[in-house]
Structure 1
Amino acid sequence: MLESLRIVLAIIVLVLAGYGLLTGNSEAVSPYMMFFMGAMLLVMGISEIRKERKRIGFISIIVSLFVFYVSIQGFLLNFTS
């Protein structure tokens, strides 16, 4: 379940990155891409913790929280301007 969710989130991030590169409008797509990247890192962290690799799992979760913070900042900056 977590493996398939990770693959789906990775495909979404890849499609959003490709769309941003093709259209040249990466500022509008960037917060969404970062949000899904944070979700992917969170899923990867949970998966690693379940595999008894706790150190890399906790690092992935901490990085995902930072990426969520950055994506929220991006949403707020795009919303106000």
Structure 2
Amino acid sequence: MLKILPIAFAIIAISLSTYGLITRDYQLNFLMIFFLGLSMLTLGIREFQSKRKAYGLFLIGVFFFSTYASIQSFIWR
């Protein structure tokens, strides 16, 4: 399950970024950042399970920052 989710979240994020680049409509960037953050969260959980805590903490920190940036972008647009 934790092998499929990061790939699915990354595909969604790449699709949203490709859509934004092709149409020059950047209103969905907050969703792209959010799905990249979810991908980082699942990777961080997987790193914790494989006993690499420093890298897992870093990835979970990236998740929190990207979620904050995504919510901030959604509120202030």
TM-score scaled to structure 2, two decimals? 0.97
Matched to 1:16, the amino acid is: L
1:27-74 CA-partner distances (Å, limit 9, x unpaired)? x01101011111111111001110111110000001110000000001
Name the structure 2 match of 1:67.
Answer: 66
Q: Residues of 1 paired with 2:40 and 2:5: CA distance? A: 11
For structure 2, the residue ranges without an aligned partner over 5 or more in a row are: none
Matched to 1:59, the amino acid is: F
For structure 1, the residue ranges without an aligned partner over 5 or more in a row are: none
Overall identity of the aligned pairs, in %:
40
Matched to 1:48, the amino acid is: E
* Matching of residues 20-39 of structure 1 within 5 Å: 20-26=20-26, 28-39=27-38
RMSD of aligned residue pairs (Cα, Å): 0.6
TM-score scaled to structure 1, two decimals? 0.92
